[in-house]
Amino acid sequence: MLCGCCGASYTLINKTRYGCSALRNKGEAVCRNRATISREAVEARVLGGLKDRLMHPDLVAAFVEEYRRAWNAAQAGAGAARDKLQRDLGLSRRRSPASSRRSRTECIIHR
**Binding-site ranges for Zn ion (CB under 5 A):** 3, 5-6, 8, 20, 22, 31, 33
C-beta of residue 12 within 8 angstroms of C-beta of residue 18? yes
Q: How far is the CB of 17 from Zn ion (least distance, A)?
A: 14
3-class DSSP assignment, residue 20: strand
Nearer to Zn ion, 5 or 42 (CB): 5
Tell me how far, at minimum, the Cβ of 2 lies from Zn ion, in Å. Answer: 8
d(CA 39, CA 92): 66
Q: Which residue's CB is nearer to Zn ion, number 26 or number 68?
A: 26
Residue of 20, 40, 41, 42 lying closest to 32 (CA atoms): 20
**Closest CB 43 distance from Zn ion, rounded Å:** 21
Name the CA dihedral angle for 19, 24, 25, 28, rounded to a multiple of 10 degrees. Answer: 120
**Closer by beta carbon to Zn ion, 23 or else 40:** 23
